[in-house]
Amino acid sequence: MNKASEQRRLSAGQVDVWCCATDDPRLLAKMDRYLNMLSDEEKQEYEQRQHAGQAEEYLASRAFLRTVLAQYTGQEPKQLTFDSNDFGKPFLPAHSDSVSFNAAHTHGLTLCAVTSGCDIGVDVEFQTDSQGMLDAADDYLSPAEMLALREVEEEGRLSVFFRSWTLKEAYLKARGKGLSIPLHDFSVLLDGLDVSRFDADDAERWELRLLAQDEDFTAAIAVAGKIADIKAFHCLPLVEMSELGQLAELLPAAKS
């Protein structure tokens, strides 16, 4: 089968979310081949990260991103050329009409969300320092979100905080303008795991969804359009690739 016939197609409103445990020991044997997938600029970044001890994770996450995105372009992973907007949001200039994507990393986990024809953002947060996060919650949340958070029973408050925060970050990342959009100027209100209300100056354009949450991680996406379907996949580049049965399996604990 040639590369073009293997190319993944995205139907209208379809979102594919891919995960990779970049600290999986099976990746270590592939590092030389991952290096061959990188551009000169990425190789330089890899060298710089050697000193900080983050080089292997960086290499694995670039190989993951290239392997995932190559499937939607019909190109080989090493052939992909990235560009980024003024705020650093990456895109594929040769495929920007047909492939939109965004990636997020935390604690050995990288997610990449892919769709077609509209902006997308993904975020994944690792849940640490509970009291510290809650004490600083009003730095991140709007007055309406703070009001809703205070109504939650104390034992569930941290989970709800992380849902709101991760959804807000996904929206910011979809807009692609970083923190130039003030966090207090928009609100994501929740009913359990569902977004019950989204208040922003362009709210009608967007759909925000919580993907998964466990005691360590929270993951969410924001899409500038209607989401028809979300599929979850796992990819360890050059090791294995599979579709997952449920969104919860995007998080490491659900897979182990």
Ligand X SMILES: CC(C)(COP(=O)(O)OP(=O)(O)OC[C@H]1O[C@@H](n2cnc3c(N)ncnc32)[C@H](O)[C@@H]1OP(=O)(O)O)[C@@H](O)C(=O)NCCC(=O)NCCS
Nearer to ligand X by Cβ, of 23 and 152: the residue is: 23
Shorter beta-carbon distance to ligand X: residue 121 or 225: 121
Residue numbers at the binding site for ligand X (CB under 6 A): 86-90, 102-105, 121, 123, 172-173, 176, 178-180
Q: Give 128 or 242: the residue with its C-beta nearer to ligand X.
A: 128
What is the smallest separation between the CB atom of 232 and ligand X, expressed in angstroms? 18
Give the shortest CB-111-to-ligand X separation in angstroms: 9
Of 44 and 242, which has the nearer Cβ to ligand X? 44
Q: Which residue is nearest to ligand X (CB)?
A: 178
CB of 86 to ligand X, least distance (A): 6
What does the DSSP assignment read for the chain?
A: --TGGG-----TTEEEEEEEETT-GGGGGGHHHHHHHS-HHHHHHHHHHHTTT-HHHHHHHHHHHHHHHHHHHTS-GGG---EE-TT--EE-GGGTTT-EEEEEEETTEEEEEEESSS-EEEEEEE---HHHHHHTHHHHS-HHHHHHHHTS-HHHHHHHHHHHHHHHHHHHHHHT-GGGS-GGG-EEEEETTEEEEEESTTGGG-EEEEEEE-SSEEEEEEESS---EEEEEEEETTTEEEE-SSGGGGSHHHH-
Which is nearer to ligand X, 11 or 200 (by Cβ)?
A: 200
The CB-of-169 to ligand X minimum distance in angstroms stands at 6
Distance in Å, CB of 14 to ligand X, minimum: 20
